[in-house]
Amino acid sequence: MAIDTSGIHHITIRVNDMERSKRFYSHVLGFSVEAPADDLAYFVAGDTLVVLRPPLEGTPPGDRFDERRIGVDHLAFAVGGRDELEKVVETLRGANVGTEGIERDPLLDKDYVCFRDPDNIQWEFYSRS
């Protein structure tokens, strides 16, 4: 039996430094970040709510994301087309965020841009067309 879903409601990301992450997501990526509490911030990417939370108690100091562990590997969001990807590349490079620029996914036959956030989480923006 398949469960009838309409998409992802929200994603929660644990971050080492809330202020640094809020700046990155708002100033670099241009999301409208809301912060109703010291331990909670969020923004909307398409129809998905992305929540930022500090580390849980017991998290080693300076811990960083590593896709070599079991769990989430990366986050990929859709954008309108190549023009939007070009804007992403320009924005990332202007903020000194490492990226290879626009790449082609041979499996999906789609253009995308890949980069990492301040906690080493890999983000990708994929062209819908």
Domain extent listing, the chain:
1-56, 73-129
Distance CA 78, CA 111 (A): 10
Tell me the CATH architecture of domain 1-56. Answer: Roll (3.10)
> Fold match between 1-56 and 73-129?
yes
Q: What's the mean pLDDT when you consider all of the chain? A: 94
C-alpha closest to that of 50 among 69, 82, 76, 19: 76
Q: Which residue is listed with tokens 């990492």?
A: 116
CATH superfamily, domain 73-129, is 2,3-Dihydroxybiphenyl 1,2-Dioxygenase, domain 1 (3.10.180.10)
- 75 neighbors 114 (Cβ within 8 angstroms): no
Outline where DSSP puts E strands in 57-105.
75-79, 102-105
Strand partners, 127: 79
From residue 96, alpha-carbon distances to 15, 69, 73, 115, 116 in Å are 20, 27, 23, 11, 11
Q: What is the pLDDT of residues 85-120, one digit of tens each?
A: 999 999 999 999 999 999 999 999 999 999 999 999
**pLDDT score for 44:** 97
Q: What is the pLDDT of residues 19-52, one digit of tens each?
A: 999 999 999 999 999 999 999 999 999 999 999 9
